[in-house]
Amino acid sequence: MMSSDQNVFGKKLYIESYGCAMNFSDSEIVASILTASGYATTRNEEEAQVVLINTCSIRDNAELRVRNRLNHFNVRKRKQPGLVVGILGCMAERLKSTLLEEEKIVDLVVGPDAYRDLPLLIEQVEGGQKAVNVLLSREETYAEINPVRLDNSGVTSFVSIMRGCDNMCSFCVVPFTRGRERSRDPETIVHEVKYLFEQGYREVTLLGQNVDSYRWNITKKGEIIEPGKSTVNFAQLLELVALVSPQIRVRFSTSHPKDMVDEVLHTMARHHNICKYIHLPVQSGSSSVLERMNRGYSREWYLDRIAAIRRIMPDCAISTDIITGFCGETEAEHAETASLMREVGYEFAYMFKYSERPKTLAERKFKDDIPEAIKQQRLEEIIQIQHESSHQRNIQAVGKVFEVLIEGNSKKSDKSLHGRNSQNQVVVFERGNHQKGTYVNVKITACTSATLIGEVV
């Protein structure tokens, strides 16, 4: 990795990321591509000649946030006319060149599959032109690019294993912004994880929009692409990564209830270092809403998957995503979501009000007919249920001993350290002589609704 000190003559690049983990991971690929052509990354936007904003389109408010940031850079650009401002990611893909026309300060618009083109596009901007590349690809996985780690914790890292999404959930803009689903060569994934381990990293999170449909050398229909070469499915990939070292933890995100097979659960159960935590977005507890969402499963199917997790890994934590106020959602349908939440007892949930996105199936087929106030009221109701559920889960952890990977100082005091247990719960404890990047056994003595508090045993 090149530090800014080694690159005194190079230009400085500042990247800001919004949205999902995949976007943060993509920014590290962008940093790698631009570092290779002589840029140095900086955390200080004031000293940058190139500012890139990696954007999210998932909900309307995500896009609003970016537009506000652009206003901020607009002020800077008046003081520093040579400043290059570029939009990357999902908003770039969704809005394409209209961003150049509407947002007068944007010089550069680059979609998620066109990052290899960035050095050339920036040159073009420096030559006085605007530059756009929003071509989506069926092959691009940035497989061999070794990302420049931007978060700097040095302990945990994301590793992208696939790109795009073929699911077509009716509410979701992702298939339009990130294109067709494709998997990354497993050899390059294992190579990246080995490299991270040698650099001192002790946890990787394998990323994909739907990790359960990861497949290498095999088509969706199950036909082998290159006979004589081995095939790899997600369970097998998980195992390959877990075998890099028993000292490196493996997490993954996101699973899809319609594709999550028991083979993955058995692989998780077999390996101590595959964390006992699954993020399994349900979106709604009502089968009729799930049908309108085009999710490909029913409430019963989802609950069967939860039962499989509990059967195969009784100590596994489960989290979810939920949308309130989707098109036509009745009080009874909403009540089914509430009852499912109580039945599952999630450790954690990300909860959202439905936000209509242009071009999606839902926008074309249904009316966004639930009033904002009702969306909000339903959201508050499920947030309350989740709050109680998280608290309950934390109370159940008190008295137990967990293996915790230390990630660094606690936010509140330098006398304390924080880390997470396999179940992804945050654990805070006294520093002692312990170092980040090592494992300790911590006995939980107390908790809040968000954090476990304990002592090293």
Burial class (CB in 10 A: 0-12, 13-18, 19+), 438: middle
- Which one of 39, 252, 297, 354 is in contact with ligand 5AD (CB under 6 A)? 354
Taking the complex as a whole, the smallest distance from the CB of residue 177 to ligand SF4 amounts, in Å, to: 5
Judged by CB under 6 A, which stretch of 42-50, 239-247, 270-278, 347-355 contacts ligand 5AD?
347-355
- Which one of 287, 355, 409, 438 is in contact with ligand 5AD (CB under 6 A)? 355
Q: How far apart are CA 147 and CA 241, in angstroms?
A: 17
* Ordered DSSP codes for 111-172: -TT-GGGHHHHHHHHHTT--EEE----SS---TT--PPP-S--SSEEEEE-EE------TT-
Q: Which does 285 bind (CB under 5 to 8 A by kind): ligand SF4, ligand 5AD, none?
A: none
Total residues interacting with ligand 5AD, rule: CB under 6 A:
12
Q: Which is nearer to ligand 5AD, 244 or 323 (CB)?
A: 323
Is the distance from CB of 30 to CB of 88 less than 8 angstroms? Answer: yes
Taking CB under 6 A as the rule, does residue 24 contact ligand 5AD? no
* Residue numbers at the binding site for ligand SF4 (CB under 6 A): 19-20, 22-23, 56-58, 89-90, 173-174, 177-178
Buried b (16+ CB within 10 A) or exposed e, 90-108: bbbbbbeeebbeebeebbb
Token pair of 195 as six digits: 């490299």
Taking the complex as a whole, the smallest distance from the CB of residue 355 to ligand SF4 amounts, in Å, to: 11
Closest residue to ligand 5AD, judged by C-beta, is: 321
Taking CB under 6 A as the rule, does residue 352 contact ligand 5AD? yes
Q: Which long-range contacts (CB under 8 A, 24 or more apart) does 181-187 make?
A: 181/209, 181/210, 181/213, 182/138, 182/139, 182/140, 182/141, 183/141, 183/208, 183/214, 183/215, 183/216, 184/141, 184/142, 184/143, 184/160, 185/141, 185/143, 185/216, 186/216, 186/232, 186/237, 186/240
Q: What is the SS3 assignment for 299?
A: helix
Q: Which is nearer to ligand 5AD, 60 or 388 (CB)?
A: 60
- Which one of 323, 405, 447, 452 is in contact with ligand 5AD (CB under 6 A)? 323
Phi-psi map region of 276: left, alpha, beta (phi>0 left; psi -120 to 50 alpha): beta
Taking the complex as a whole, the smallest distance from the CB of residue 324 to ligand 5AD amounts, in Å, to: 9
Taking CB under 6 A as the rule, does residue 357 contact ligand 5AD? yes
Q: Which does 178 bind (CB under 5 to 8 A by kind): ligand 5AD, ligand SF4, none?
A: ligand SF4
Q: Which does 349 bind (CB under 5 to 8 A by kind): ligand 5AD, ligand SF4, none?
A: none
Is the distance from CB of 51 to CB of 82 less than 8 angstroms? Answer: no
> Taking CB under 6 A as the rule, which mask of x and - marks residues 166-195 in contact with ligand 5AD?
-----xx-----------------------
Nearest-5° Cα angle at 205, 203 to 206: 135
Taking the complex as a whole, the smallest distance from the CB of residue 315 to ligand 5AD amounts, in Å, to: 25
Is the distance from CB of 189 to CB of 226 less than 8 angstroms? Answer: no
Q: Which is nearer to ligand 5AD, 54 or 273 (CB)?
A: 54
Binders in 46-85 for ligand 5AD, by CB under 6 A? 58-59
Beta strand 401-409 with 416-420 is antiparallel
Taking the complex as a whole, the smallest distance from the CB of residue 174 to ligand SF4 amounts, in Å, to: 5
| Nearest Cα to Cα of residue 278 among 246, 323, 315 | 315
Which residue type, as a one-letter code, is found at position 309? Answer: I
Token pair of 441 as six digits: 């056994």
Q: How far apart are CA 338 and CA 341, in angstroms?
A: 5
Token pair of 116 as six digits: 């290899």
Q: Which is nearer to ligand 5AD, 236 or 319 (CB)?
A: 319
Q: Which does 293 bind (CB under 5 to 8 A by kind): ligand SF4, ligand 5AD, none?
A: none
Closest residue to ligand SF4, judged by C-beta, is: 19
Q: Which is nearer to ligand SF4, 58 or 248 (CB)?
A: 58
Taking the complex as a whole, the smallest distance from the CB of residue 357 to ligand 5AD amounts, in Å, to: 5
Taking the complex as a whole, the smallest distance from the CB of residue 212 to ligand SF4 amounts, in Å, to: 17
| Nearest Cα to Cα of residue 258 among 305, 223, 207 | 305
Q: How far apart are CA 301 and CA 305, in angstroms?
A: 6
Judged by CB under 6 A, which stretch of 88-96, 237-245, 333-341, 348-356 contacts ligand 5AD?
348-356
Which residue type, as a one-letter code, is found at position 274? Answer: I
Binders in 279-298 for ligand 5AD, by CB under 6 A? 281, 283
Q: Which does 23 bind (CB under 5 to 8 A by kind): ligand 5AD, ligand SF4, none?
A: ligand SF4
Positions touching ligand 5AD (CB under 6 A) are 58-59, 171-172, 281, 283, 321, 323, 352, 354-355, 357
